[in-house]
Amino acid sequence: MCGIIGCSLHDNSKYNILSQLAKLEYRGYDSCGVTDLINNQFFTFKSTNRISDLKNKKTTLSNLSIAHTRWATHGNVSTKNAHPILSNNGNYSIVHNGIIENYDKLKEVYLSAFRFITETDTEVIVNLFEYFCKTNDEIDSLYILSKLLKGSYAFIILDKKSDNMYFMKNKSPLIIGKGQDIIIASDILAFDKNVSSYYRLNDFEYGYIKNNKVFLYHNNKQIKPSFISFIYSNYNNQLNGYNHYMEKEIYETKDLLKKQIDFKFDSDIINLINSSKRIILIASGTSYHAGLLGSYFFNHLSNIESSAYIACEFEYFDYYNSDDLFIVISQSGETADLIKIVNILKNHNHNILSITNSIINTISTLSSKNINIDAGIEIAVASTKTYTLSSFILYKLACIKNNLYDKRSVINCIAELDNIYNSTDIYKDLAKSIYKNKNLFFLGSGYDNLICKEASLKLKEISYIHSESMSCGELKHGSISLITKDFPVIYFISDNGYKNTLNSIEELKSRHAKVYIISTNNVEIESDIKVSSTNDLLSFIPFSIVLQFISYYTALLLNNDIDKPRNLAKSVTVL
């Protein structure tokens, strides 16, 4: 979702902020913009296209700039609605990530005399700032805003007259990186090699950057930010011969899994698991699907009662106990639905163990303990390697209690992945058979049904083909009415014992559905795709790669924008 960045250089050297903004591209966006401040004048460039297009338009360079990638919430995708956005008097220019829930009300109460050019909630913030600055200094005005604005936000405002760069945040991430220069951004990935320390702002902190110094406030009092040292690592964002990041990331999975084989959990985490009577997993999207597998593992391997919940639904369920362990899973660590729940749990002093793909993020900061899956940046919007890695970490956690981790079978299972990576022709063939369809079912029973959920989501995300995942036995209770001749149905089968699956295949074949079977070699059934798995519960490893490849090749045939599917954002920072 939206990414914001502000750069304040220590001298008058000029800088192209757009190289840093491009590091936020992976979050997903539909338009972008930048403002350079030069000799008390704003120079603004916008595009409803990619940052590369913005680079072509931008004709200035400055040592003071703000920039933005927008994922539209209020107002359509247009140059007008793209940020930065000016206040009425033209003194202030803002970039904003998040949603102001009470913007309408605030507009009505304070800004009736203001003229609005955009349809955004952001324009309300910058005009409110102008409004309060008429009778207060800027810091007091930010304090007033911290009390008035409801919702999630991180914003940066550039002041044309003073050269100050103001900022404030609540719920949405904002991090200040300091070195020779100062970069303030939604994500540390936007930092450059000059950043040697960082400070993650807490909610309702605000302040300004002037002459390369940071002034920080909370509740009208100046506070001292404690910067933590930072070692810049230029993540490998090259395609290295792959056609898409999604493809590259699927291939990276094997080595990342290998790295985790011997990973040891710290003793606090082991104690947390061993002492848990019940484990509740919470996440969104693909991470929720990893959570479903996790709860299956805890129930089957450790006899710890466990269930998984979708983050945005969790608050509607209240049957949990004070001694439950909560495991929250989030690739980005910034998913607003999950942050909301983590805050509620934290306020009730629950034990929260988070599984994230970095250590510097909101969810890991809020949790009692964190496991970093350390999968490297995932640039494709559709999660691939992080699904497999998070599921693997959950598998290992579930093995702790009864000491069931069988390293040998994990090593063998991972070694077998080469066969999958070398069999792309069969996924391409399957993709050719399905890509012209409008609808599709993924069917499985038990464990396999959990795999189907991820297969269906992955296909929808990047191919835009409607698909549903369903339990084999449940199909006959209604949805079978959709089955007509040649309706495509893909089965995942990891276990001979799933009688419902075998019955369902017969039922659908007799209705002339087009049945495709993906099974492990332990299952005695003729299959379109066979994968090796050394242990039924590890089948998610080969299955995940196969389901990702099927989606990938289907989307490729459809000529879709695979790494940046329409409407989707990598980091969903709004509720």
Judged by beta carbon, residue 142 or residue 342, the one nearer ligand F6R is: 342
Judged by beta carbon, residue 141 or residue 286, the one nearer ligand F6R is: 286
The only residue of 16, 69, 253, 284 in contact with ligand F6R, by rule CB under 6 A: 284
Helix, strand or coil for residue 10? coil
Contact status: 33 vs ligand F6R (CB under 6 A): no
202: left (phi over 0), alpha (psi -120 to 50) or beta: beta
Contact status: 335 vs ligand F6R (CB under 6 A): yes
Q: Is the dihedral of CA 250, 256, 258, 263 positive or negative?
A: negative
Contact status: 572 vs ligand F6R (CB under 6 A): yes
Strands 31-38 and 64-70: antiparallel
Matching residue, tokens 């995940």: 544
> How far apart are CB 369 and ligand F6R at their closest, in Å?
17
Contacting ligand F6R within 380-419 (CB under 6 A): 382-383
> How far apart are CB 185 and ligand F6R at their closest, in Å?
17
Contacting ligand F6R within 337-376 (CB under 6 A): 338
Contacting ligand F6R within 132-191 (CB under 6 A): none
- Using the contact rule CB under 6 A, the part of the chain among 279-287, 313-321, 400-408, 528-536 near ligand F6R is 279-287
Contacting ligand F6R within 429-468 (CB under 6 A): 461
Number of C-alpha atoms within 13 angstroms, CB side, residue 274?
Answer: 11
**DSSP classification of residue 102:** T
Residue type, 125: I
Are the C-beta atoms of residues 523 and 492 closer than 8 Å to each other?
no
State the virtual CA torsion across 379, 228, 259, 332 in degrees, nearest 10: -30
Are the C-beta atoms of residues 373 and 318 closer than 8 Å to each other?
no
Matching residue, tokens 């998984």: 308
Question: How many residues in the chain?
Answer: 575
Matching residue, tokens 């038990």: 446
Judged by beta carbon, residue 100 or residue 382, the one nearer ligand F6R is: 382
Contact status: 120 vs ligand F6R (CB under 6 A): no
> How far apart are CB 363 and ligand F6R at their closest, in Å?
8
- Using the contact rule CB under 6 A, the part of the chain among 80-88, 153-161, 218-226, 278-286 near ligand F6R is 278-286
Closest CA to 492 of 514, 510, 469, 475: 469
Order the strands of the 369-372 sheet from edge to edge: 305-310, 278-283, 325-330, 351-356, 369-372
**Candidates 58, 178, 564, 570; catalytic one:** 570
Strands 305-310 and 278-283: parallel
The only residue of 35, 286, 494, 500 in contact with ligand F6R, by rule CB under 6 A: 286
Contact status: 548 vs ligand F6R (CB under 6 A): no
φ and ψ at residue 405, rounded to 5 degrees: -70, 115
> How far apart are CB 356 and ligand F6R at their closest, in Å?
8
Judged by beta carbon, residue 163 or residue 468, the one nearer ligand F6R is: 468
The only residue of 225, 285, 294, 446 in contact with ligand F6R, by rule CB under 6 A: 285
Matching residue, tokens 């396999």: 448
Contact status: 95 vs ligand F6R (CB under 6 A): no
C-alpha separations of 320 from 272, 295, 412 in Å: 17, 15, 38
Contacting ligand F6R within 315-334 (CB under 6 A): 330-332
- Using the contact rule CB under 6 A, the part of the chain among 27-35, 38-46, 106-114, 281-289 near ligand F6R is 281-289
Judged by beta carbon, residue 383 or residue 449, the one nearer ligand F6R is: 383
**Candidates 2, 7, 413, 472; catalytic one:** 2
> How far apart are CB 568 and ligand F6R at their closest, in Å?
7
Number of Cβ within a 10 Å radius of residue 336: 21
Residue nearest to ligand F6R (CB): 285
* Residue 570 among the catalytic residues: yes
> How far apart are CB 334 and ligand F6R at their closest, in Å?
7
- What the block records as the tokens of 63 is 């040592």
Residues 6 or more apart from 56 whose CB is under 8 A from it?
none
Closest CA to 87 of 43, 45, 117: 117
> How far apart are CB 341 and ligand F6R at their closest, in Å?
11
In angstroms, the CA 125 to CA 55 distance is 27
* Residue 2 among the catalytic residues: yes
Number of Cβ within a 10 Å radius of residue 322: 8
161: left (phi over 0), alpha (psi -120 to 50) or beta: alpha
Size of the site for ligand F6R (CB under 6 A): 13
Judged by beta carbon, residue 66 or residue 379, the one nearer ligand F6R is: 379
Judged by beta carbon, residue 152 or residue 335, the one nearer ligand F6R is: 335
Contact status: 287 vs ligand F6R (CB under 6 A): yes
Judged by beta carbon, residue 182 or residue 336, the one nearer ligand F6R is: 336
Catalytic machinery residues: 2, 570
Positions in the binding site for ligand F6R (CB under 6 A): 284-287, 330-332, 335, 338, 382-383, 461, 572
